[in-house]
Amino acid sequence: MTTITRFAPSPTGRLHVGNIRTALHNWMLAQKDGGRFMLRIDDTDAERSREEYVDAIREDLAWLGLSPDGEERQSERLGLYEQAFEKLRADGRIYPAYETQQELELKRKIQLGRGLPPIYDRGALALSEAERAEKEAAGAAPHWRFKLDHGEMIAWEDGIRGSQKFDPAQLSDPVIRRADGSWLYMLPSCVDDIHMGVTDVLRGEDHVSNTAVQIQMFTALDAAPPRFAHEALLVGREGKLSKRLGSLGCDTFRERGIEPEALVALLARLGTSQPVEPIAARETLVNTFDLSTFGRAPARFDDAELDRINTAIVHQFDFADVADRLPDGMDAGAWHAIRPNLEKVADAGDWWAIVTGPVSQPDFDDGTRTFLAKAATMLEWSDNPWADLTARLKAATDRKGKSLFLPLRQALTGMDHGPDMSELLPLIGEAEARARLQSAAEG
């Protein structure tokens, strides 16, 4: 059986880091098994859904390299939900309820005050046909609930959490349709999973109780439930659920200069027993993806760790990987020289400006200016002008180590640190290098 996974965001905002992690893991699960990764746009909430967010979701997935093998939109599948609704109604598995939000909230408070679980008391099932007719005649439109079967425990083998069991009598009959006829998450999601052939549902642990309910929905719709796995949620570095994680999206990461390969490398293994490493090769991450390595503890997202991985990924890039993002005139040799000093690709422009000049040199003392004047006269171009120059200066002066190398670097680059001068000096060029040395000597 072909593995089919799905990512089902609601287009009510930008994808955030938690969504991205879910999408990535579903993509990896499908990729490892040679299956299909589907995108489902959950846009039944017409009031909050925005087409601009649909476009943003597609753009973000493309930036991450998570190409869906197909796309469905719930707003185009309303007929399927109506069919399922009518089947469940005919089978006595859904029923109308008339309580207002205020009435339901009061019931919950009373139950909690009595030390009881705040689940729906099925009061609507006690209404007679006459009482229902009376409410509707008074203008009360019903919402609709799925009637859970209290006969057996709901059980499944979770791909991450292991054996799971729920007593349906301890769960509320979920509302599947609002009084205005619009759909809530539960039923459309099941219907879509059935019609899209989804075999594996991998999502956050906040959906565990939803899964218990949906397993009964699949059965009521005469379908076998897919395999389920629920991963631990992301938390911030401080160990608490962070609102900030809800605002960290691809647009934020792009603005920070984070490479998609770095974000993928971090999120691929975050929350697993496998080491988080700067692995740019997707096939390596896919081949080592294993649900059995996922832990139950919250997965900690750390910006500093992401930055560290990003820097290491940048250091792996070949010139061809970044050529279209580099300053004009910067070639493979320049990239090779500058790359070890970069944290982000965008920083290459700052280092390239040192090559092209002008540079701001420090004020040198008289002795150092004399030394730099000598360097200007002793500079001879060769296959390795830096090694030759420093060797001649060392022999001709009493300088060595820092006192030899640092003034030369400062005069040539205006910096105390930076790329290997053996690689950088040929990029600066003979005439420009001599001019910089002479300028520094003159003060």
Compute how many other C-beta atoms are within 10 angstroms of the C-beta atom of residue 212: 22
CA distance 237 to 305: 10
Structure tokens at 271: 């929350």
CA distance 387 to 420: 11
Q: Is 243 annotated as a binding residue?
A: yes
| Surface-to-core class of residue 173, CB atoms within 10 Å of its CB (0-12 exposed, 13-18 middle, 19+ buried) | buried
Q: Which of 318, 338, 311 is nearest to 423 (CA)?
A: 338
CA distance 234 to 245: 8
Q: Which of 241, 298, 304 is nearest to 270 (CA)?
A: 298
Distances (CA, A) of 381 to 105, 120, 334, 426: 84, 85, 18, 9
Pairing state of beta strands 162-166 and 175-177?
unpaired
Structure tokens at 304: 């500093």
CA distance 260 to 302: 16
Annotated binding-site residue numbers: 243
Binding-site positions for ATP? 243
